[in-house]
């Protein structure tokens, strides 16, 4: 070993280069399961969430400090105003003692009178004297404030970071709370509420977390009318969500003066269960939730309040937050944070109300048709736990078409976007046509492309027969109520043919005329029609399915303001498609 601590002239490897990469196989000794909470008579599994908690947004503090480029004051103002519009009554506006921009932002809110009378701002501060005093300077002129003081309490932090005993950590918290209490009279016009967080609560011995919180309560001396907030953060998720519920229930059941305390949750998402842990924490007895829009926050993020609130809404609980225009909320969030909301993000992602699978599309289509349209009617649509319109989304995006899609999805797009309501058997026929197109292109098809394919397949099928004119004459005949004579002119392979025949209606007469003069034989299998709009000038859409002598069936469609003409066009459309598809097999030749 030489004088600079190296051996044989080599520097000691750093912890980074000493690490061996790769997961352990077989017996995993590198990690150990989190200890369970002794709570054999736990009550939370039988409870339900039946009311909204107190919400506190920490987007402007916890969310902001997690950004690669923190928000400017102007962006913070925009975010603050968005949070107010959404209905937040408690908003953590930052850590004013940590930086000048944080301090200036709070002063901007005060001086520009941007804080509504019913909104309480929350400020975060470590349990350090000079930071607490600076925080009180920033609060000058605030009507209502929560001073949120914290220090870390877990065994790992005490041992590795602070090298402090249990009592020394308690002393830090108590000393900070005493200073805050002494400074409250310096802001006589400000209603101040204390919030204490034993940071890393999730990893702290549960009895010790209770001990330090009760020491803080003893100093502050809250009452049922002037409660203290004890915020119990899952600073790092270290266990399953049920363990968090046990921690919260155990804490609530053992806490002295529970009636004078608001129990608050602040859950991060390291295990991907932040929402579940928070929901279970509420079942465990918590009163309040801190979180961010779309889960922005350090590492894997904070709990997502959008998801939490809308989860409650889908269970019939008013969340007391308004996400009726989720697209605007997302746009503001992305603009201010420079973060993107994932396409599959619950409720807000571009694709969360979208089905590509054929079976899903068919079920959604049937569910939408069966849904009671009355306001407030029970929502019951397969695969859609929430009505997209409740959050400002449109039905256009629910079903999108690619090679995996089926008839139901194609039918839904045509009906909701263009008012085209195909018969069920026609949906099968056209669904296969769209699948073939999507397969060939290898891409998703837009509604416009789908409708264009519908028009080209059915409405623009004019060969070999194209209708040039059509009229009918109605007359009485002996033994019949009435008869219809049709006179039609058709362009057929460059020539004009006039056909005429009698029948019991325009379609029957036209079929007879075609069979007598142009084609040998075919049968009409199904007929359907509907309006494409309202009023006397609205177009009608007619659908006709024909069967050829070989047994093959083909659909045709036609539109016109005259329903008889729409039906005649639909019949010719079906014949043209049959003729083009199976000319020799059909034995259909122009006479």
What are 143-158's pLDDT values in tens digits? 999 999 999 999 999 9
**The two structure tokens encoding residue 338:** 């420079």
Looking at mean pLDDT, say which of 101-115, 416-430, 531-545 comes out highest: 101-115
Q: Across the chain, what does the average pLDDT equal?
A: 90
Q: What are the sequence ranges of the domains in the chain?
A: 50-337, 358-459, 465-586
- Under the banding of pLDDT at 50, 70 and 90, the label for residue 590 is very low
> What share of the chain has pLDDT > 90, as a percent?
71
Asked whether the predicted pLDDT for residue 5 surpasses 50, the reply is no
CA–CA separation, 382 vs 365, rounded Å?
9
How high is the pLDDT of residue 15? Answer: 52
- Under the banding of pLDDT at 50, 70 and 90, the label for residue 439 is confident
Asked whether the predicted pLDDT for residue 587 surpasses 50, the reply is no
CA–CA separation, 542 vs 564, rounded Å?
9
Asked whether the predicted pLDDT for residue 226 surpasses 70, the reply is yes
Q: Which of 90-94, 257-261, 435-439 has the lowest mean pLDDT?
A: 435-439
How high is the pLDDT of residue 396? Answer: 53
Closest CA to 433 of 467, 456, 460: 456
CA–CA separation, 523 vs 112, rounded Å?
78
Asked whether the predicted pLDDT for residue 92 surpasses 50, the reply is yes
Span 415-427, average pLDDT = 90
CA–CA separation, 544 vs 523, rounded Å?
10
Number of Cβ atoms within 10 Å of the Cβ of 186: 12
How high is the pLDDT of residue 588? Answer: 46
Asked whether the predicted pLDDT for residue 3 surpasses 50, the reply is no
CA–CA separation, 54 vs 256, rounded Å?
21
How high is the pLDDT of residue 200? Answer: 94
- Under the banding of pLDDT at 50, 70 and 90, the label for residue 413 is confident
Beta strand pairing call for 480-492 and 465-477: antiparallel
The predicted-structure confidence for 68-81, as pLDDT tens digits, reads as follows 999 999 999 999 99
Q: Is the peptide bond before 464 cis (omega within 30 degrees of 0)?
A: yes
More confident residue, 245 or 369: 245
How high is the pLDDT of residue 57? Answer: 98
CA–CA separation, 207 vs 16, rounded Å?
36
The predicted-structure confidence for 339-397, as pLDDT tens digits, reads as follows 999 989 999 998 888 777 768 877 888 898 899 989 889 999 999 999 999 999 875 55
CA–CA separation, 98 vs 88, rounded Å?
24
- CATH 3.40.50.10890 holds for 465-586: no
How high is the pLDDT of residue 12? Answer: 54
Distance (Å) of CA 258 to CA 19, 145, 262, 409:
47, 22, 8, 54
Q: Which H or E element spans position 115?
A: none
- Under the banding of pLDDT at 50, 70 and 90, the label for residue 402 is low
The predicted-structure confidence for 302-320, as pLDDT tens digits, reads as follows 999 999 999 999 999 999 9
The predicted-structure confidence for 156-184, as pLDDT tens digits, reads as follows 999 999 999 999 999 999 999 999 999 99
Q: Record the pTM.
A: 0.74
396: which residues sit within 8 A by CB, 6+ positions away? 413, 416, 417, 447
More confident residue, 440 or 159: 159
129: which residues sit within 8 A by CB, 6+ positions away? 175, 176, 179
Query: Which residue in this structure is represented by tokens 């197109």?
Result: 437
CA–CA separation, 591 vs 586, rounded Å?
14
Backbone angles phi, psi at 382, to 5 degrees: -55, 140
What homologous superfamily does CATH list for 50-337? Aldolase class I (3.20.20.70)
574: which residues sit within 8 A by CB, 6+ positions away? 544, 545, 546, 554, 555, 556
**Rg over CA atoms, the chain:** 35
Q: Which residues pair with 199 in a beta bridge?
A: 152
**The two structure tokens encoding residue 452:** 């264009």
How high is the pLDDT of residue 483? Answer: 84
Q: Is the peptide bond before 552 cis (omega within 30 degrees of 0)?
A: no
**The two structure tokens encoding residue 393:** 């989304």
Looking at mean pLDDT, say which of 357-361, 475-479, 570-574 comes out highest: 570-574
How high is the pLDDT of residue 582? Answer: 64
Q: For residue 112, how far is the Cα from the chain centroid?
A: 34
Span 250-264, average pLDDT = 97
290: burial class by Cβ within 10 Å (0-12, 13-18, 19+)?
buried
Span 189-203, average pLDDT = 97
Map residue 469 onto helix, strand or coil.
strand
């Amino acid at each position: 070993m030489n004088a600079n601590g190296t051996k044989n002239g080599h520097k000691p490897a750093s912890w980074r280069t000493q690490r061996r990469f790769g997961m352990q196989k077989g017996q995993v000794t590198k990690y150990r399961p989190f200890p369970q909470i002794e709570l054999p008579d736990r009550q939370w599994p039988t409870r339900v969430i039946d009311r909204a908690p107190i919400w506190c947004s920490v987007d402007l503090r916890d969310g902001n400090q997690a950004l690669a480029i923190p928000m400017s004051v102007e962006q913070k103002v925009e975010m603050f105003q968005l949070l107010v519009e959404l209905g937040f009554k408690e908003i953590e506006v930052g850590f004013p003692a940590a930086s000048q921009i944080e301090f200036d932002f709070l002063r901007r809110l005060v001086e520009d009178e941007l804080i509504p009378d019913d909104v309480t701002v929350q400020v975060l501060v470590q349990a350090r004297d000079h930071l607490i005093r600076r925080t009180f300077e920033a609060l000058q002129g605030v009507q209502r404030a929560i001073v949120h003081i914290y220090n870390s309490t877990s065994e790992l932090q005490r041992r590795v970071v602070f090298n402090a005993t249990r009592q020394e950590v308690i002393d830090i918290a108590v000393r900070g709370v005493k200073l805050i209490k002494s400074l409250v009279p310096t802001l006589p016009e400000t209603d101040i509420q204390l919030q204490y967080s034993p940071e890393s609560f999730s990893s702290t011995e549960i009895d010790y977390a209770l001990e330090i919180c009760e020491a803080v309560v003893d100093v502050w001396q809250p009452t049922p009318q002037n409660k203290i907030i004890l915020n119990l953060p899952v600073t790092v998720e270290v266990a399953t969500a049920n363990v968090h519920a046990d921690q919260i229930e155990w804490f609530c059941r053992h806490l002295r003066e529970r009636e004078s305390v608001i129990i608050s949750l602040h859950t991060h998402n390291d295990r991907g269960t932040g929402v579940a842990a928070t929901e279970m924490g509420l079942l465990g007895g918590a009163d309040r939730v801190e979180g961010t829009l779309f889960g922005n926050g350090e590492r894997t993020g904070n709990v997502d309040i959008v998801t939490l609130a809308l989860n409650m809404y889908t269970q019939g609980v008013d969340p007391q937050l308004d996400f009726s225009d989720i697209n605007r909320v997302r746009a503001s969030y992305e603009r201010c944070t420079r973060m993107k909301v994932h396409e599959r993000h619950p409720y807000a992602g571009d694709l969360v109300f979208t089905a590509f699978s054929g079976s899903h599309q068919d079920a959604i289509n049937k569910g939408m048709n069966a849904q009671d349209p009355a306001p407030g009617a029970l929502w019951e649509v397969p695969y859609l736990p929430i009505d997209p319109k409740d959050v400002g989304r449109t039905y256009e995006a629910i079903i999108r078409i690619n090679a995996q899609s089926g008839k139901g999805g194609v039918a839904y797009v045509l009906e909701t976007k263009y008012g085209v309501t195909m018969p069920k058997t026609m949906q099968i026929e056209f669904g296969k046509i769209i699948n073939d197109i999507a397969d060939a292109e290898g891409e998703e098809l837009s509604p416009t492309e789908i409708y264009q394919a519908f028009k080209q397949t059915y409405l623009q099928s004019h060969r070999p027969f194209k209708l040039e004119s059509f009229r009918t004459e109605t007359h009485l005949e002996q033994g019949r109520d009435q008869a219809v004579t049709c006179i039609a002119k058709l362009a057929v392979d460059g020539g004009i043919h006039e056909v005429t025949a009698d029948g019991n209606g325009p379609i029957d007469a036209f079929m007879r005329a075609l069979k007598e003069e142009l084609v040998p034989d075919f049968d009409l299998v199904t007929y359907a029609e509907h309006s494409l709009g309202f009023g006397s000038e609205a177009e009608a859409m007619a659908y006709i399915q024909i069967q050829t002598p070989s047994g093959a069936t083909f659909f045709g469609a036609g539109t016109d303001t005259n329903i008889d003409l729409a039906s005649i066009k639909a019949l010719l459309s079906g014949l043209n498609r049959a003729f083009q598809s199976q000319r020799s097999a059909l034995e259909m030749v122009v006479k």
